[in-house]
A and B are shown apart, each in its own frame.
Chain A
Protein backbone atom coordinates (compact mmCIF):
# COMPACT_ATOMS: atom_id res chain seq x y z
CA UNK A 1 0.00 0.00 0.00
CA UNK A 2 1.27 3.43 -0.90
CA UNK A 3 -0.06 6.67 0.57
CA UNK A 4 0.78 10.00 -1.00
CA UNK A 5 0.72 13.62 0.09
CA UNK A 6 -1.36 15.02 -2.75
CA UNK A 7 -1.52 18.65 -1.58
CA UNK A 8 0.01 20.77 1.18
CA UNK A 9 -0.76 24.25 2.45
CA UNK A 10 1.59 26.17 4.74
CA UNK A 11 0.79 29.50 6.42
CA UNK A 12 3.34 31.36 8.50
CA UNK A 13 4.81 34.89 8.67
CA UNK A 14 1.76 36.25 6.77
CA UNK A 15 2.68 34.07 3.81
CA UNK A 16 0.38 31.43 2.33
CA UNK A 17 1.94 28.70 0.22
CA UNK A 18 0.03 25.96 -1.58
CA UNK A 19 2.21 23.13 -2.86
CA UNK A 20 5.23 25.41 -2.61
CA UNK A 21 3.65 28.24 -4.60
CA UNK A 22 2.97 31.60 -3.00
CA UNK A 23 -0.75 32.35 -2.85
CA UNK A 24 -0.66 35.43 -0.63
CA UNK A 25 2.24 37.27 0.96
CA UNK A 26 1.70 40.30 3.20
CA UNK A 27 3.98 42.51 5.26
CA UNK A 28 5.32 40.63 8.29
CA UNK A 29 4.20 43.36 10.71
CA UNK A 30 0.54 43.13 9.63
CA UNK A 31 -1.51 41.93 12.64
CA UNK A 32 -2.89 38.40 12.38
CA UNK A 33 -6.51 39.59 12.39
CA UNK A 34 -5.98 41.81 9.37
CA UNK A 35 -3.94 39.20 7.53
CA UNK A 36 -6.50 36.42 7.99
CA UNK A 37 -9.43 38.70 7.15
CA UNK A 38 -7.69 39.69 3.91
CA UNK A 39 -7.05 36.02 3.08
CA UNK A 40 -10.72 35.22 3.70
CA UNK A 41 -11.98 38.07 1.55
CA UNK A 42 -9.70 37.15 -1.32
CA UNK A 43 -10.10 33.41 -1.35
CA UNK A 44 -12.70 31.78 0.82
CA UNK A 45 -16.28 31.20 -0.23
CA UNK A 46 -18.71 33.30 1.82
CA UNK A 47 -19.33 31.79 5.24
CA UNK A 48 -21.35 33.78 7.75
CA UNK A 49 -19.70 31.90 10.60
CA UNK A 50 -16.14 32.95 9.74
CA UNK A 51 -16.19 36.22 11.66
CA UNK A 52 -17.59 34.49 14.73
CA UNK A 53 -14.76 31.97 14.88
CA UNK A 54 -11.81 32.43 17.21
CA UNK A 55 -8.39 33.06 15.68
CA UNK A 56 -7.32 29.41 15.87
CA UNK A 57 -10.40 28.32 13.92
CA UNK A 58 -9.97 31.13 11.42
CA UNK A 59 -6.41 29.98 10.77
CA UNK A 60 -7.39 26.33 10.35
CA UNK A 61 -10.41 27.27 8.24
CA UNK A 62 -8.43 29.43 5.81
CA UNK A 63 -5.70 26.77 5.49
CA UNK A 64 -8.34 24.16 4.68
CA UNK A 65 -10.01 26.49 2.16
CA UNK A 66 -6.75 26.74 0.22
CA UNK A 67 -5.96 23.05 0.58
CA UNK A 68 -9.37 21.88 -0.59
CA UNK A 69 -10.22 24.54 -3.16
CA UNK A 70 -11.84 23.02 -6.26
CA UNK A 71 -11.65 19.56 -4.70
CA UNK A 72 -14.77 17.53 -4.01
CA UNK A 73 -13.28 15.14 -1.45
CA UNK A 74 -16.55 14.24 0.23
CA UNK A 75 -18.28 13.40 -3.05
CA UNK A 76 -15.25 11.52 -4.39
CA UNK A 77 -14.53 9.35 -1.37
CA UNK A 78 -17.70 9.49 0.71
CA UNK A 79 -18.17 11.75 3.72
CA UNK A 80 -17.46 8.93 6.20
CA UNK A 81 -14.11 8.19 4.56
CA UNK A 82 -12.49 11.57 5.19
CA UNK A 83 -10.60 11.87 8.49
CA UNK A 84 -8.96 14.83 10.15
CA UNK A 85 -5.89 14.50 12.32
CA UNK A 86 -4.53 17.76 13.77
CA UNK A 87 -2.14 18.80 16.51
CA UNK A 88 -0.60 21.90 18.04
CA UNK A 89 1.29 23.02 21.11
CA UNK A 90 -0.89 25.75 22.68
CA UNK A 91 -4.21 23.92 22.45
CA UNK A 92 -6.95 26.60 22.68
CA UNK A 93 -4.98 28.75 25.17
CA UNK A 94 -5.37 31.92 23.10
CA UNK A 95 -9.15 31.80 23.43
CA UNK A 96 -9.01 30.36 26.96
CA UNK A 97 -7.20 33.55 28.05
CA UNK A 98 -9.70 35.79 26.25
CA UNK A 99 -12.59 33.87 27.77
CA UNK A 100 -11.06 34.04 31.26
CA UNK A 101 -10.82 37.80 30.91
CA UNK A 102 -14.56 38.04 30.20
CA UNK A 103 -15.47 35.83 33.17
CA UNK A 104 -14.45 38.62 35.55
CA UNK A 105 -17.25 40.74 34.05
CA UNK A 106 -19.79 38.90 31.86
CA UNK A 107 -18.73 35.47 30.60
CA UNK A 108 -18.92 35.41 26.82
CA UNK A 109 -20.89 32.43 25.42
CA UNK A 110 -19.40 32.92 21.94
CA UNK A 111 -15.86 32.71 23.33
CA UNK A 112 -16.71 29.77 25.58
CA UNK A 113 -17.67 27.57 22.62
CA UNK A 114 -14.13 27.92 21.26
CA UNK A 115 -12.34 26.91 24.46
CA UNK A 116 -11.45 23.52 22.94
CA UNK A 117 -8.90 23.11 20.14
CA UNK A 118 -10.84 20.39 18.32
CA UNK A 119 -13.63 22.83 17.49
CA UNK A 120 -11.59 23.68 14.39
CA UNK A 121 -12.06 20.11 13.19
CA UNK A 122 -15.80 20.56 13.57
CA UNK A 123 -15.83 23.84 11.65
CA UNK A 124 -13.89 22.28 8.75
CA UNK A 125 -16.07 19.16 8.81
CA UNK A 126 -19.29 21.20 8.73
CA UNK A 127 -17.97 23.34 5.90
CA UNK A 128 -16.90 20.35 3.78
CA UNK A 129 -19.52 17.82 4.98
CA UNK A 130 -16.85 15.44 6.34
CA UNK A 131 -18.11 12.74 8.68
CA UNK A 132 -15.03 10.56 9.23
CA UNK A 133 -12.98 10.05 12.39
CA UNK A 134 -11.23 13.11 13.70
CA UNK A 135 -8.68 13.56 16.44
CA UNK A 136 -6.68 16.36 17.97
CA UNK A 137 -3.42 16.09 19.91
CA UNK A 138 -1.20 18.45 21.86
CA UNK A 139 2.56 18.11 21.41
CA UNK A 140 5.53 20.29 22.30
CA UNK A 141 6.44 20.56 18.64
CA UNK A 142 5.47 19.29 15.20
CA UNK A 143 5.75 15.50 15.15
CA UNK A 144 5.84 14.18 11.62
CA UNK A 145 6.30 10.57 12.72
CA UNK A 146 3.16 10.53 14.87
CA UNK A 147 0.95 12.10 12.21
CA UNK A 148 2.44 9.92 9.50
CA UNK A 149 1.96 6.67 11.46
CA UNK A 150 -1.58 7.56 12.60
CA UNK A 151 -2.75 8.51 9.08
CA UNK A 152 -1.18 5.39 7.59
CA UNK A 153 -2.91 3.24 10.21
CA UNK A 154 -6.31 4.83 9.53
CA UNK A 155 -6.00 4.12 5.82
CA UNK A 156 -4.55 0.62 6.32
CA UNK A 157 -7.38 -0.34 8.64
CA UNK A 158 -9.88 1.08 6.13
CA UNK A 159 -11.15 3.61 8.66
CA UNK A 160 -10.51 6.31 6.08
CA UNK A 161 -9.60 6.76 2.44
CA UNK A 162 -8.34 10.30 2.87
CA UNK A 163 -6.70 11.85 5.92
CA UNK A 164 -6.08 15.56 6.29
CA UNK A 165 -3.18 15.86 8.70
CA UNK A 166 -1.59 18.92 10.11
CA UNK A 167 -0.34 21.34 12.66
CA UNK A 168 -2.39 24.46 13.49
CA UNK A 169 -0.75 26.53 16.19
CA UNK A 170 -1.70 30.00 17.40
CA UNK A 171 -1.00 32.06 20.50
CA UNK A 172 -1.48 35.83 20.23
CA UNK A 173 0.47 36.96 17.15
CA UNK A 174 2.56 33.80 16.89
CA UNK A 175 1.05 31.30 14.55
CA UNK A 176 1.72 28.69 11.91
CA UNK A 177 -0.53 26.31 10.07
CA UNK A 178 0.38 23.32 7.93
CA UNK A 179 -2.19 20.98 6.43
CA UNK A 180 -1.65 18.06 4.08
CA UNK A 181 -4.09 16.01 2.08
CA UNK A 182 -3.04 12.36 2.14
CA UNK A 183 -4.62 9.75 -0.10
CA UNK A 184 -3.99 6.15 -1.08
CA UNK A 185 -2.52 5.83 -4.57
CA UNK A 186 -2.64 9.56 -5.18
CA UNK A 187 -0.25 11.73 -7.15
CA UNK A 188 2.45 13.26 -5.02
CA UNK A 189 5.30 12.56 -2.65
CA UNK A 190 4.99 9.44 -0.52
CA UNK A 191 3.73 9.97 3.02
CA UNK A 192 6.93 9.60 5.03
CA UNK A 193 8.39 11.43 8.02
CA UNK A 194 11.09 12.93 5.82
CA UNK A 195 8.69 14.25 3.19
CA UNK A 196 6.32 15.60 5.81
CA UNK A 197 9.15 17.37 7.65
CA UNK A 198 10.45 18.80 4.40
CA UNK A 199 7.04 20.26 3.51
CA UNK A 200 6.56 21.58 7.05
CA UNK A 201 9.94 23.29 6.95
CA UNK A 202 8.91 24.92 3.68
CA UNK A 203 11.80 23.58 1.64
Chain B
Protein backbone atom coordinates (compact mmCIF):
# COMPACT_ATOMS: atom_id res chain seq x y z
CA UNK B 1 0.00 0.00 0.00
CA UNK B 2 2.82 2.44 0.86
CA UNK B 3 4.47 1.92 -2.53
CA UNK B 4 1.16 2.56 -4.30
CA UNK B 5 0.57 5.72 -2.25
CA UNK B 6 4.05 7.02 -3.15
CA UNK B 7 3.44 6.26 -6.84
CA UNK B 8 0.03 7.98 -6.76
CA UNK B 9 1.50 11.12 -5.22
CA UNK B 10 3.98 11.43 -8.07
CA UNK B 11 1.34 10.69 -10.71
CA UNK B 12 -1.08 13.24 -9.23
CA UNK B 13 1.57 15.98 -9.04
CA UNK B 14 2.46 15.35 -12.67
CA UNK B 15 -1.08 14.96 -14.02
CA UNK B 16 -2.43 18.03 -12.22
CA UNK B 17 0.62 20.27 -12.81
CA UNK B 18 1.03 20.89 -9.09
CA UNK B 19 4.11 23.05 -9.53
CA UNK B 20 6.04 23.57 -6.31
CA UNK B 21 4.37 20.63 -4.56
CA UNK B 22 6.55 17.63 -3.69
CA UNK B 23 5.36 14.14 -2.66
CA UNK B 24 6.51 14.87 0.91
CA UNK B 25 4.13 17.83 1.07
CA UNK B 26 1.12 15.56 0.66
CA UNK B 27 -0.04 13.40 3.54
CA UNK B 28 -1.91 10.28 2.38
CA UNK B 29 -4.77 11.31 4.69
CA UNK B 30 -5.01 14.97 3.62
CA UNK B 31 -8.28 15.93 2.00
CA UNK B 32 -7.65 16.42 -1.72
CA UNK B 33 -10.45 18.97 -2.23
CA UNK B 34 -11.45 22.04 -0.23
CA UNK B 35 -9.20 22.77 2.72
CA UNK B 36 -6.59 20.12 1.93
CA UNK B 37 -4.73 20.22 -1.36
CA UNK B 38 -7.32 22.63 -2.76
CA UNK B 39 -8.12 20.74 -5.94
CA UNK B 40 -11.05 21.88 -8.12
CA UNK B 41 -13.65 20.27 -10.37
CA UNK B 42 -11.30 20.14 -13.40
CA UNK B 43 -8.71 18.38 -11.21
CA UNK B 44 -11.41 15.84 -10.32
CA UNK B 45 -11.87 15.09 -14.02
CA UNK B 46 -8.10 14.75 -14.41
CA UNK B 47 -8.07 12.23 -11.54
CA UNK B 48 -10.74 10.18 -13.33
CA UNK B 49 -8.55 10.21 -16.46
CA UNK B 50 -5.50 9.23 -14.35
CA UNK B 51 -7.27 6.18 -12.91
CA UNK B 52 -8.48 5.05 -16.31
CA UNK B 53 -5.18 5.66 -18.10
CA UNK B 54 -2.85 4.17 -15.50
CA UNK B 55 -5.00 1.57 -13.75
CA UNK B 56 -7.73 0.73 -16.24
CA UNK B 57 -10.42 1.76 -13.75
CA UNK B 58 -13.53 3.57 -14.94
CA UNK B 59 -15.61 5.55 -12.46
CA UNK B 60 -19.09 5.82 -13.82
CA UNK B 61 -21.02 6.75 -10.68
CA UNK B 62 -20.31 10.36 -9.58
CA UNK B 63 -21.40 9.60 -6.00
CA UNK B 64 -18.75 6.90 -5.86
CA UNK B 65 -16.12 9.41 -7.01
CA UNK B 66 -16.56 11.62 -3.97
CA UNK B 67 -15.61 8.74 -1.65
CA UNK B 68 -12.78 7.44 -3.84
CA UNK B 69 -11.10 10.82 -4.29
CA UNK B 70 -11.35 11.89 -0.66
CA UNK B 71 -7.64 11.27 0.06
CA UNK B 72 -4.63 9.64 -1.61
CA UNK B 73 -5.17 6.68 0.73
CA UNK B 74 -8.79 6.25 -0.34
CA UNK B 75 -7.70 6.22 -4.00
CA UNK B 76 -5.02 3.62 -3.21
CA UNK B 77 -7.58 1.48 -1.34
CA UNK B 78 -9.95 1.66 -4.30
CA UNK B 79 -7.23 0.60 -6.73
CA UNK B 80 -6.18 -2.29 -4.44
CA UNK B 81 -9.79 -3.41 -3.88
CA UNK B 82 -10.33 -3.54 -7.62
CA UNK B 83 -7.24 -5.63 -8.15
CA UNK B 84 -5.33 -3.10 -10.26
CA UNK B 85 -2.43 -2.24 -7.97
Contact = CB atoms under 8 A, between A and B. Distances in A.
Interface of A: 48, 50-52, 105-110, 113
A106 B17 contact: no
A108 B16 CA distance: 10
12 contacts: A51-B19, A52-B42, A106-B49, A106-B53, A107-B49, A108-B46, A108-B49, A109-B45, A109-B49, A110-B16, A110-B17, A113-B42
B38 A109 contact: no
A106 B19 CA distance: 22
Contacts of A108: 46, 49
Contacts, number: 27
Closest 6 CB pairs of A and B: A109-B45, A51-B19, A106-B53, A106-B49, A51-B17, A110-B42
Interface residues of B, number: 13
Interface of B: 16-20, 38, 42-43, 45-46, 49, 52-53
Nearest to B18: A51
B57 to A, nearest CB: 13
B15 to A, nearest CB: 9
Contacts of A106: 49, 52-53
Contacts of A105: 53
B19 A109 contact: no
A109 B49 CA distance: 8
A115 B71 CA distance: 30
A110 B19 CA distance: 15
A52 B17 contact: yes
Contacts of B43: 110
A157 B46 CA distance: 44
Nearest to B50: A106
Contacts of B45: 109-110
Contacts of A52: 16-17, 42
Nearest to A51: B19
A47 B32 CA distance: 18
Contacts of A48: 38
A51 B17 CA distance: 6
A113 B45 CA distance: 11
Given A52-B16, A113-B42, 17 more contacts: A48-B38, A50-B19, A51-B17, A51-B18, A51-B19, A52-B17, A52-B42, A107-B49, A108-B49, A109-B42, A109-B45, A109-B46, A110-B17, A110-B42, A110-B43, A110-B45, A110-B46
